[in-house]
Structure 1
Amino acid sequence: MAIINMKNVDFVRNQQYILKNINWTVDKNEHWAILGLNGSGKSSLLKLIMAENWKTTGDLTVLGTRFGIDRIPELRAKIGIVGSFIAERFRPDIIAENLVLTGRYNSSMLYRAFSETDLDDARSLMHQIGAAPLIGRIYGTLSQGEKQLLLIARSLILQPQILILDEATSGLDLFAKARLLEQLHHITQLENGPTLLYITHHPDEITPDFQKVMLLRQGQIVRSGTPHELLTETVLSDFYQMPVTVNIVNNSYFVLPKKS
């Protein structure tokens, strides 16, 4: 069952193509990694899905909602997003489980009355994804990796059908990044868990949890397929338009410019 369907979608801003002729279908529980260099249009693609930007031409359907025909507000509650840019929106003195609960109101603060039962829901979710050690902690005292894990819990509290991770490892050290990717593995194992869309410019972050990869360059899909098909020296050298080497270590793809 397709949960995202784009057909001949263009996004034009100031008479410049940001995205051009996007044809893309995502099936339920088909986890995708979207790979591209900075400025390739990755974030713009996500904003189309979340209806923060509006397509210029083409047909776009997300979770059965047809853009330009159906109502959009209800759609946004079905999509969670995690990115380093979100981490800056919260007061440093907020308690971890309170921050998780803000996801229920799509806000950076708890402006509605809440009960201990609500907080128990947040704590239960933190237990499920391995964030239990953060319960009771003050947000401003957490490391960047701990903050990202908390934001993942926050994004899951409404049980979204799609979870978008936009450069989610930005600012994380080697070990924090590994822990975050391990948490994503646990999310893919959740019953009725969300479909993941993982945005990155680091091929080594594309774990076996991602069945499909999109290569995006200058606003256009260059190729899409499985990691085994696309994360090769031949394909990536063509994609990056410069020769690269690919080393596979523990199912991770490490890509480096080829020495002359």
Structure 2
Amino acid sequence: MSIISLTDVDFTRNGNQILKHINWQVDKNEHWAILGLNGSGKSSLLKLIMAENWKTSGEITVLGTRFGHDQIPELRAKIGIVGSFIAERFRPSIMAENLVLTGRYNSSMLYREFSEADLDVARDLMVQIGADKLIGRIYGTLSQGEKQLLLIARSLMTNPDILILDEATNGLDLFAKERLLEKLHQITQLKNGPTLLYITHHPDEITADFQKILLLRQGEIVDSGETQKILTTETLSSFYQMPVDVEIVNGKYFAIPK
């Protein structure tokens, strides 16, 4: 059953067509990677799914909600998001578990009253994903990798059906990136866990957890399908419009310019 369906979707902003004729379907627990260079429209695509941007034309249905026909606010609670544009919304002085708790209310601050029991729920979730060492820490003192881990915990507060990761490894060193990808693997093993959409411009971040891949270039889908069939020398050379060699090392795909 499709949980995301985009049919002939265009998105234009300030007279510039950013996404063109997007046709894409995602089934439940079918984890996808969206690969494209900077400026290809990846973030714009995810913001359409989150209803932060609004389509210019076409049809979008996410988790049974038809955009333009059904109520959107309830949908947003079912989608978790991790990305730099989310990370920048929080005060540096906020406590780690308080930040995680904001995920329950889809806000950047705790406007509502909350109890110690509420914070315990946030702390328990931090423990589950291996962020227990961050309990009691101040957000502004954390490393980039620690902040991303905290944002993953926050995104899981509402038990979302979809978890979007937008360039989630930006600013991470080699080892922090590996730890983050391992956490995502753990999430894919959860019973009734979320469907992952992983946005990146690095093929080597696309692990075996992502069965499907979508190639986006200049706002258009160039190709999509099973990851192992798409991440090939021939397909990526055509996609990048530059010759590359694809090498697989320890299960990771590396596109090396010729």
Output the amino acid matched with 2:205: E
Match of 1:80 in 2: 80
Please state how far the C-alpha of 1:114 moved relative to its aligned partner.
0.7
RMSD of aligned residue pairs (Cα, Å) = 0.9
Output the amino acid matched with 1:200: T
In the alignment, the residues of structure 1 paired with residue 85 and residue 61 of structure 2 have an alpha-carbon distance, to the nearest angstrom, of: 26
Match of 2:11 in 1: 11
**Which consecutive segments of 4 or more residues in structure 1 shift more than 6 A?**
none
Match of 1:241 in 2: 241
Match of 1:156 in 2: 156
Match of 1:204 in 2: 204
Match of 1:137 in 2: 137
Output the amino acid matched with 1:155: S
Q: If the length of structure 1 is used for normalisation, what is the TM-score?
A: 0.97
Match of 2:32 in 1: 32
In the alignment, the residues of structure 1 paired with residue 72 and residue 194 of structure 2 have an alpha-carbon distance, to the nearest angstrom, of: 19
SS at match of 1:85: helix
Q: Deviations over 1:180-236 (max 9, x none)?
A: 000000111111111000000000000000010000001110000111101111000
Q: Deviations over 1:29-69 (max 9, x none)?
A: 00000000011110110111011111111111000000111
Output the amino acid matched with 2:200: T
SS at match of 2:150: helix
Match of 1:101 in 2: 101
More off after superposition, 74-83 vs 132-141: 132-141
Match of 1:173 in 2: 173
In the alignment, the residues of structure 2 paired with residue 12 and residue 32 of structure 1 have an alpha-carbon distance, to the nearest angstrom, of: 24
Please state how far the C-alpha of 1:124 moved relative to its aligned partner.
1.0
Q: Deviations over 1:74-102 (max 9, x none)?
A: 11111111012222222222221111001
Q: Number of residues paired by the alignment?
A: 258
In the alignment, the residues of structure 2 paired with residue 138 and residue 232 of structure 1 have an alpha-carbon distance, to the nearest angstrom, of: 44
> Are residues 85 and 53 of structure 1, via their aligned partners in 2, closer, same or farther at CA, if it must alter by over 3 Å?
closer
Q: Which runs of 5+ in 1 are unaligned?
A: none
Percent identity over paired residues: 79
Please state how far the C-alpha of 1:109 moved relative to its aligned partner.
1.5
